[in-house]
Amino acid sequence: MDLFDKCKNYKTANDARKMGIYPYFHKLESKQDIAVTMEGKRRIMLGSNNYLGLTANDEIIEAGKKAVEQYGTGCSGSRFLNGTLRMHVELEKQLAEFVGYEDCVTFSTGFQTNLGIISAVVGRNDYMICDRENHASIYDGCKLSFGKMLRYKHNDMEDLERVLKTVPEDAGKLIITDGVFSMGGDIAKLPEIVELAKKYGARTMVDDAHGLGVLGEGGRGTASYFGLTDQVDITMGTFSKSLASLGGYMVANHVVADYVRHNSRPFIFSASITPASCATALAALDYLRRNPQIVQRLNDISRYVREGMHKRRIRIRPQDGGWATPIVPIYTSDLVTTLTIGKELYDEGVFVNPVLPPAVAPSDCLLRTSYMATHTEEILDEAMDIIARILDKHGLLGE
């Protein structure tokens, strides 16, 4: 069999193109903002992870410009060799202080961060215990390690304990969970996870890519939200969401951070974060520190959307607890219906993200919508009215 037969036999994307409902690679022609110009038309942006709206902030943009003027466009090497800027070290120091840990290691992307952490700290005889709805980068990090991965049902603490009971008592154990889950927008049951980790001698790791800037005191993340910063062993996050840049980070104690610096292949063998990306992340972190009210504004916007969708009979996942996250999935059933509705919304000027198998079960396809602190109530009402009208056309509004 020819190696490329699998490529020739892949029909899914072309089938969607032929039906006129292919949803990917739409071309932006403006800044990532609450409304964008995409392929020549205004679209309300409900598909970005730009939670604090800082990608269009003049202060953040200016920081990136100055960094390029001072350092050039790239570092041309790894952090180990010629690629460490004083600014990288400053960013790590500021992040560690902000999130509340001893030390910080930065990586070139968020995806690479999970690869780099897990593959470094998990050895051949260790176990990784993962929530089934964890991000793909966590699963790939587990594959890159030499440990054994076990999974538990999503946010199901009884099932987590069942899995922990199967792990040899003397084995190294790392429980890994998203803080805010990227598709459903729900929050991990971190207090229970920490309690079970202590009971069974496990360490804990939280992927806070969608938690930084969203939860906790001044946006410090999921562990802060629950008052558990000193009890979560490792937290990772990204710069591509609330910090309006590109890259990722790990915070932990000095011993773990230094071990990862010297043993993580994705860290050692990758070029460092570009000057502009580093500077914009620093500027966004400083902006967040000086403007903690923006986190409350994001919560208010998220709550406004959930209430607005409920009034319009749009079916969304209920959110437990007192804090509303900015990820709101709309349930649309099967693949073709989901892609069709996504295309009709796009044509009507609303950009959302279709979520399809294997990310979800074939009958549980959804449209992932996400929101920014800079969204206005007026533009959100405009978008929700369009969404409700198109869902009603397909008979998908609730009672």
* pLDDT per residue rounded down to tens, the chain (399 residues): 899 999 999 998 999 999 999 999 999 999 999 999 999 999 999 999 999 999 999 999 999 999 999 999 999 999 999 999 999 999 999 999 999 999 999 999 999 999 999 999 999 999 999 999 999 999 999 999 999 999 999 999 999 999 999 999 999 999 999 999 999 999 999 999 999 999 999 999 999 999 999 999 999 999 999 999 999 999 999 999 999 999 999 999 999 999 999 999 999 999 999 999 999 999 999 999 999 999 999 999 999 999 999 999 999 987 766 789 999 999 998 999 999 999 999 999 999 999 988 878 888 899 999 999 999 999 999 999 999 999 999 999 987
- Characterise 69 by phi-psi region: left (phi > 0), alpha (psi -120 to 50), beta (else): alpha
- Residue 126 has which token pair? 């260790």
List residues with catalytic annotation. Answer: 182, 210, 241
Using H for helix, E for strand and C for coil, what is the string for 107-160?
ECCHHHHHHHHHHHHCCCCCEEEEECCCCHHHHHHHHHCCCEEEEECCCCHHHH
Q: What amino acid occupies position 84?
A: T
Same domain assignment for residues 245 and 346: no
φ, ψ of residue 102 to 5 degrees: the values are -70, -40
Q: Does a structural domain hold residue 98?
A: yes
Of 176, 187, 234, nearest to 210 by C-alpha is 187
Same domain assignment for residues 208 and 184: yes
1 three-class SS: coil
Q: Does a structural domain hold residue 137?
A: yes
Of 180, 131, 227, nearest to 323 by C-alpha is 180
Element (H, E) at 350: strand 350-351
From CA 112, how far away is CA 273, in angstroms rounded? Answer: 12
Same domain assignment for residues 80 and 128: yes
Q: Does a structural domain hold residue 5?
A: no
Contact by Cβ (8 Å): 329, 316? yes
- What's the total number of domains in the chain? 2
Same domain assignment for residues 32 and 160: no
Same domain assignment for residues 95 and 231: yes
Same domain assignment for residues 33 and 131: no
Q: Does a structural domain hold residue 250?
A: yes
> Which whole-number Å values give the CA distances from 107 to 26, 195, 223, in the listed order?
28, 30, 21
pLDDT of 373: 98
Contact by Cβ (8 Å): 274, 74? yes
Q: Does a structural domain hold residue 398?
A: no
Q: Tell which of 290, 306, 326 closes a domain.
A: 290
With 0-12 / 13-18 / 19 or more C-beta atoms within 10 angstroms meaning exposed / middle / buried, residue 324 is buried
The parent domain of residue 34 ranges over 10-45+292-393
Of 142, 148, 202, nearest to 172 by C-alpha is 202
From CA 282, how far away is CA 97, in angstroms rounded? Answer: 13
Same domain assignment for residues 339 and 364: yes
Contact by Cβ (8 Å): 73, 274? yes
Count CB neighbours of 321 within 10 A: 9
Contact by Cβ (8 Å): 165, 139? no
182 three-class SS: coil
Q: Tell which of 247, 263, 290 closes a domain.
A: 290
Q: Does a structural domain hold residue 1?
A: no
Same domain assignment for residues 90 and 214: yes
Same domain assignment for residues 25 and 157: no
What is the pTM assigned to this prediction? Answer: 0.96
From CA 111, how far away is CA 182, in angstroms rounded? Answer: 13
From CA 399, how far away is CA 395, in angstroms rounded? Answer: 11
Q: Does a structural domain hold residue 3?
A: no
Same domain assignment for residues 188 and 250: yes
What is the length of the chain? 399
Contact by Cβ (8 Å): 224, 230? no
Kindly report the CATH number assigned to the domain that includes residue 204: 3.40.640.10
From CA 300, how far away is CA 296, in angstroms rounded? Answer: 6
Kindly report the CATH number assigned to the domain that includes residue 335: 3.90.1150.10
Q: Does a structural domain hold residue 23?
A: yes
Same domain assignment for residues 100 and 245: yes
Same domain assignment for residues 120 and 238: yes
Q: Tell which of 290, 315, 342 closes a domain.
A: 290
Number of Cα atoms under 13 Å in the Cβ half of residue 380: 23
